[in-house]
Structure formats: C-alpha cells, structure tokens
C-alpha cells in the first residue's frame, strides 16, 4: 500500500467511524501508541474537515497492561497516556495492525480504568488475521493474510519519513 492508497483508506475509515457513531456527537478517538496515535490524529483531521467538528482525542499506551512482561520484558520506555473524559462517550480505538488481539484486550482494560464509555469501536488499518483472543475490528482498512513469521510494517511520515504499508514475508 503506498501513500495514496493509505490516504484513500483512511478517508473511508473516517467516514465509516462517523456513520457507526451516528455523527460526531459524543465521539472520542483514542490512538494506541505508537502508530495508532498518528493514524488517529489523521482520522481526526479528516473528520474535522468533513463534519466541521473538533473531535476530542487521546493517546493510550498499553505497555503496563500487557500480559507478557515475563516473556518479552519491559519496553525500554513506556509511552505517554493522555485521555479525555470517556464516560458515556463513543470511543473509537485506532491502531495500525490487528493481529493476536492482545493489544486490544489490554487497551479495553485500560479504557475501563479511565471511565465508562457508552460504546467502544475498534478501527484498524490492517487486519492480518492470526487472532489469539475472540476480538474483531468494527472498521478495517484492509485485510491481508500473513503467516506467523511475516511482518506487517505500517510506516507513517511523522515517524518513518513516508507513508506505506509493507508486508515482509518470513
């Protein structure tokens, strides 16, 4: 997926989020550190343009909610978490890649420690399959089939200098 394809996909996802949330009233975007934050920021810009609304948004670092501290060890640096009020809101969690579902599980746990949203939507740019938990996305940019050893790299210009999605086969 190149930069133009990525832009088209994000525009479609932005539209879908507004549709699923029945407008922008009570909508909150939450990006999962790190690339989910960049994607959420762009979706927020797109929704703002099309709907003329300023959507509250936040960042979520799920590191401290992971269940694999023993196996993978602590991350060198835990990222920032900053969330607006979530009580009674429709929260759209944005992440780059949906794989095992464990990150989303952690994000759901963390969100519920910050408040009680009315509803939580899951939006991912890439669904690569391979779930280990019964979790599905509400809004998917693109489905790909990737094996356990394959890598899906989402690149964003803010962090990586260019926009792209690349599938690296094992």
Partner 1 sequence: MSATLGKDLVGLEPLSREQIQLILDTAEPFKEVSERAIKKVPALRGKTIVNLFFEASTRTRISFEFAEKRLSADTVNVAVAASSVSKGETLVDTARNLEAMRIDMVVIRHGASGAAQFLGQRIRSNVINAGDGKHEHPTQGLLDMLTLRDRFGRLEGLKVAICGDILHSRVARSNIWGLTKLGAQVGVCGPATLLPRNVHELGVTILPRIEDAIQWADALNVLRLQLERMESGFLPSLREYNRVFGVTKERLARAPKDLLILHPGPMNRGVEIDSDVADGPHSVILPQVTNGVAVRMAVLYLLAGGSPDWANPGGGGE
Contacting residues toward partner 1, per CB under 8 A: 32, 35-36, 61, 63-66, 69-82, 95-100, 102-103, 109-110, 113-114, 124, 151-154
Q: Are 17 and 123 in contact (CB under 8 A)?
A: yes
Least Å from the CB of residue 42 to partner 1? 16
Q: Which is nearer to partner 1, 19 or 68 (CB)?
A: 68
Least Å from the CB of residue 133 to partner 1? 11
Least Å from the CB of residue 19 to partner 1? 24
Q: What are residue 143's DSSP bridge partners?
A: 127
Alpha-carbon distance of 57 to 35, in angstroms, equals 15
Identify the three-state secondary structure at position 166: strand
Q: Which is nearer to partner 1, 27 or 98 (CB)?
A: 98
- DSSP per residue over 90-132, as a string? EEEEEEEEESSSHHHHHHHHHHHHH---SEEEEEEEEE----S
Residues contacting 12, CB < 8 A, separation 6+: 141
Least Å from the CB of residue 128 to partner 1? 9
Q: Which is nearer to partner 1, 48 or 114 (CB)?
A: 114
Q: Which is nearer to partner 1, 143 or 151 (CB)?
A: 151
Q: Which is nearer to partner 1, 36 or 117 (CB)?
A: 36
Phi and psi angles of residue 43, each rounded to the nearest 5 degrees, phi first: -60, -40
Q: Are 88 and 25 in contact (CB under 8 A)?
A: no
Least Å from the CB of residue 24 to partner 1? 26
């Amino acid at each position: 997926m190149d930069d133009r394809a990525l832009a088209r996909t994000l525009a479609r996802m932005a539209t879908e989020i507004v549709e699923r949330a029945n407008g922008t009233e009570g909508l909150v975007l939450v990006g999962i550190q790190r690339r989910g934050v960049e994607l959420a920021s762009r979706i927020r810009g797109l929704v703002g343009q099309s709907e003329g609304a300023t959507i509250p948004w936040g960042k979520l670092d799920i590191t401290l909610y992971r269940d694999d501290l023993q196996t993978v060890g602590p991350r060198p640096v835990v990222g920032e978490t900053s969330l607006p009020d979530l009580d009674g809101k429709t929260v759209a969690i944005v992440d780059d890649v949906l794989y095992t579902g464990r990150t989303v599980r952690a994000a759901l746990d963390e969100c519920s420690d910050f408040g009680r949203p009315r509803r939580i939507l899951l939006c991912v740019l890439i669904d690569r399959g391979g779930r280990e938990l019964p979790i599905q996305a509400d809004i998917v940019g693109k489905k790909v089939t990737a094996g356990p050893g394959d890598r899906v790299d989402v690149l964003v210009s803010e962090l990586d200098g260019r926009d792209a999605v690349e599938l690296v086969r094992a």
